[in-house]
Structure 1
Amino acid sequence: MRVLEFHFNPKLRPGLIFDSFCYEPGNVYERRMGNLYLTGALRNILPQNVNFLDKLAKVIQKEYYRSSIIKPEKALKESLKEANEFLEQIAKKGDVSWLGNLSFAALSLKNYQLNFTKIGDLKIFLLRGGKLVDIDKKLKFEEILPWPLKVFGNIVSGKLGQDDVILISTKEVTDFLKKSNLLPEITKLAPFNEEGLKQIFDKKKEDVLKISGICLALILSEEVKAGETAETPFRFPYQPVSSRTAKQVITPQTYPKEFNLREAFTPLINTFIKIRESLFARFKELIKKPRLRPPTEYLKEKREFPKLRVPKLSIPRLSIKFPLKRRALILILALILLLCVGFFIAQFKEEKELKEYQNTLQEIQEKFNQAETLLVLETPQTEEEANLLLRESWKEISPLSEIAPRLPKDFQNEVSSLKERISEILFELNKMETIEEPELFLDFNHRGFTPHRILSFEDEFYFFSPYSQNLFKIDSNNRSQLIEVARTFNFAFPVDEVILFFSKPDQLTILSAERLFSGTLEKPYEDFSLDSLSMFREHLYFLDKNSGEIIRYPYLGDLKWGSPEMWLVEKEKKAVGAKSLAIDGSVWVLNENDSLSLYHRGSLEKEISLEIFPEPEDFKKIFTSLTLPYLYLLEPAQGRIVILDKDGEIVKQFQSQKFDNLFDFSISEDGKTIYLSTGLKVYQIKL
């Protein structure tokens, strides 16, 4: 058993921490439980959570090895229960910032028997016989149960074989391996070892320095058991002996600067020039200047001219000895000549590459000029064409700007200047407004409550969370009130002057005149999951992203709802994997690929691909209503909210560095104010 740990640029992403923990048996009792491997990552950390992963790993490790009379599978389940209790205690203290930001994997291994579970976006692969298997797909992922808090759910067990490899990677590393097409190379690596893996990463070292995360490899190769000799026949199964390498922390310091003949020999050539100038100056000093001597005798009667004497020149003799043989001297001269030739070849190559980059920059400049010309015409069609040209220019100049720091300063400045101009115009065309200091509406830092959801209704505000009990209300007089209720809530909507709250899987809670009433919805079918809620004329519409169904509960009056109905036409395209829905008479669905689908009377009417800048990464929520003329899209990944008209055209975008952990938003009834929740802080944008 060998363990390889690669940590990529741990300090690259502010607010991100990650680590791997490999526990091997320390005594004969722990050997009965085998090895335990944990990998975790946490985004958007608060200062008090710097050691969050270490504490969680310690809780799991301590419980896993606590008893040696139970099976490893049972021990892992018990340790996960302990981890859930540990996380619940943290949540009860008001810290739920880690919810939705934590990714964690736990694996136990004994006698080739694997047990594992995970939460978040970590990936676990099995490499076997040149094939890659995504084994975490076997996990049946469950919703996090809010109270009592249950983060870790079921586990998967399986039997591994000799030379199998388990590969665990965080999302950014996984995306990099897929995008760079390195996964096939890693899969075919034989033998699978540290050196081979490093060579594969080295092929993309410039890209490697731009990612941050972990890649952990568990290699089940044949090892010699303790007490056996190398000649002992292999017996299967057996407890593999673990051989763990030191963590490979990859940072810019890992890769020294590439050797450059021009840079290497320029100082040497400059030294030769200085030596030559110094010798020439010394040679001039050694040459004595002529002096005219006065006449030895001066006769007044007879004028005589002094005798001129030719000055003696003292020229040093140059005595050069060559201790080396002529053949050795020729070899040295040949080496110097070769280095000089290499220097000039490298210089020529760099000049050629620079010329190519300059040509590319010139082409981008021409596109930019063409876009500027189109913008002068000031028509919707020319603006659209200019926007397309500028987005193409942005895609082309982005990789060039990454190479530019290795090129001459003038070229760097040209690239930087052009990229900035492209960005400015794209932001203007795409109606992006960057807010340096957004207006703070409410701060929950000292209120003992951390909300994840927000609802504004008339002049009142309601804050709640799927992970924490209770409600928090601010009335029209700006008075705050904590409403204690032993339940968590996922969604909320106003109905007939009261507030309706929904708790998964099927619970309704109605808040009326400070009193709470509860009810239950009829289940639409087995294994349903109501993932998004919207309301139209008091009818409830739910989205089940697993089945892609839109489920309608008709309103019967008197705060009662009837039996569920499948709203989509039977043979209509289902919204499988969709993330959110909103209703304005028609149903708008935010799809998994960040496109929009519009359904009317149960049928798909049209699909809209969003052509906006910056390009979408991961929209989370869509909202609209019958009284609002726009669509509102929330994207926490880029800290922005996007406003579109109902043809998919951009109306406005707002972005801020303060929107670094967006959970939810709400729109005032008049549509003039947006409220954005980042958990502990709520900001407002007045339109």
Structure 2
Amino acid sequence: MDYFEAKISQQVSEKPGRPKAFIRTFAAKPNPETAKNLGKIFGLIEIASDNPKIPKLIDLTINEIKDNYYGQIAPDKNFGRVFDLNDRFEGALKKANLLIASFLTSEKIALDLEKINIFTALVCGQELHFTVLGKISAILYYRLGPDNYRIINILDNAAAPPAPERLKLFSQIISGKIRPRDVFFACTGNILNHLSLEKIKNLLAQYPANESLAELKKILAEAAGEDYFGALLLEIKKSGNLERVLAGQAPSQTERFNYRQAANQDSIHELIKTERETARLLTPSILPEFKKIFGFLFTAGLSGLAKIKSQAAGRIFRQKNAIWPKIYPPDGPAQKIFLPQLTPAPKFSLPQIAAPKFSGLKINFSIFNKIKNGLIFTANLSGALIKKISGKISGRPFWQKIIFLFKLAAGRLLFKYRQLPKSSQKLLIAVIVLSVLFAQSLGWLGLKNYREKKIEDINQALFAAESQKNNAESSLIYRDENQARQLLIDAKNSLTGLKPALKSQQEKLAALNQGLEEQLQKLRHLAEFGPPARIANFQNLDSQAKIANLAVASGHVLYTQNHNNQTVYQADLETRAISAIDSPAANSGKFILGAATAGNQIIFFSEAMSAFLFDSSAETLKPIAVNISGGNKIIGLTFFKTWLYLLDASNGQIYRYTKTDEGFGSASNWLKDKEPGLAQAKSLAVDGSVYILFGDGRILKFENGKNVEFKLDVIDPPFIAPTRIKTDEASKYLYVLDPPARRLAVFDKNGRLVSQYISENFDDLKDFLVFENEKEIYFLNGSSILGVPGKHIK
């Protein structure tokens, strides 16, 4: 089990002479076992007074807290550990309260309780519990990356404590978790009068903890004058297994083996023993067995090869010189017929190996001669066999050749086996059996190692995912939803594709996936609403209607177009009445973009980049002049105040037009510099700033023609192919439509995720309209208009 060790750094600055205040820091130093079970007590006490008895009060308070906390009975390791620690800590603080009140009374010290500032804390593992009295600052520097911290003022998020009373100084305990590499900083309130939290963060990024406090002291010595101050830094680090810490890092079995002493033995037997012991320690199961089996096989193979060679050579000699029996033809005397001499197979000779000469050393090369003779015999036999076989299989089909060769080889081997003496047959069988057993042993060993490695890899993956889940819970404590969401998504992705074989791992994987999904579900901020209301269906006007991918509102009337007949359709969202407005003289073409302008007017752009002005009051449509170059690819259109904004993806520019009585004047380049990446842009929205949406879900923000930093929160599930972004000057939100995900995502203008509207009925999303005053959202879905309540609007 991992053991987290708390590292506490302290710094106090006091001026010589008669003090204005007394300041002490303290940190308990329990043994590792006690620190694991009960944690460490530490704190900071500042009392503004010149009474010489105050140091005695401070020392008594510190000792009282330590003694009462560590002096109680050790907690039950198997039950309610966190609850027990809270009880212990609270009990110790209560007794410290009584001690302070008793001391002030017995010593007749009149002390203003508002001048007592005390910070007392307990850290155990990753758990942190602390209480604050008076003007003490408690800051968490939450690590986001190398040399990068997020500053969290914990006391800003906690409820304000009640006014201190003589018998109830410590009245509120704050609890949370701290991660490795986070830094917890507590200090007297006057430090922040001279240094900003950002400056302290820079010191932590630049120096280790103790050096950071030393640098802090130097800076305050120059800036703070006669002020007194105290500060504490807390870090925790993973120190491995507690048992090894307690054992003082006892050496392993391999480390205890004394190689130097073994190597210095005079006897060669001791050296061999050392080698064997080393091999046993490094590979305890396979190396000695491999050596024994290999040695046996090698010796048996040489012996068998020599016997086979001797017997085979004898038979060839006898065949060459044998006299055939007499043959008596029917008409002649008996005569002897001799077997003609066989043409010997081509012989191969190996070059002679010259033995190296070493003075004082005799080497027996009989083994080399045996190997040479065996190779010569094998080469002669193989040459004759190949020549004989090639004559028999020439001209046959390929598969018949394979079958013939197999039968021939099997028959040849069986024949050779039967010609061997019984002892050689037994030896050969033993060699084959041992070879099979050895191969099988290696195979099973490899399979076992593979399975064990797979089990260990899955355990590591489960442990890593569990750690990410715990870190996400810690992030939520400090209200960092984006970090928590990213950690949970990473943990879930790391478990994808895992196929554990063990039942325990399968159960662990299922439980972990369920826990991750439950936490992600809370962080998705899904709006809860019933089935969307169907407001209108334009197919009631034309059953073959092909509705354009745009919806523009003038008042509470939605306007779009039927591409089949180029007719403008309108739907009153209050009365749910629908109608068609035909303007054949306009010859409009198919509309692809539209935006509402001032005075009940809507400007549309067709596929041919022709502009048309629609008057919703008079229900008329007419062409209007907008100067657009021929090579422009306009993919975004919006209207803000008296300006028309067009997004040109091909030239990486945003054009701004001023409205005139005849139309719109000449264009001006709104972006200071061209943005080549706009080729993948999908939509734009303007509220004074300009937001550009891309197909991968990115959003760029521009102010005064220049790109400014802007980043959206991580969203789950991720964007697939968003198509629309909308906002206006009066809205606090950015709306992003993602049709493949059947979703409308809502962010605030700082990029934080606010809500998601998802429904299975959103199967053909084209566009949407939001009426924040009425808290209503309308979706153009296929040929229908669907309505849902705006749950996120407050």
TM-score by length of 2: 0.41
Bigger relative contact order, structure 1 or 2, given CA contacts below 8 A and separation 6+? 1
TM-score by length of 1: 0.47
Name the structure where helix makes up a greater proportion of residues.
Answer: 2
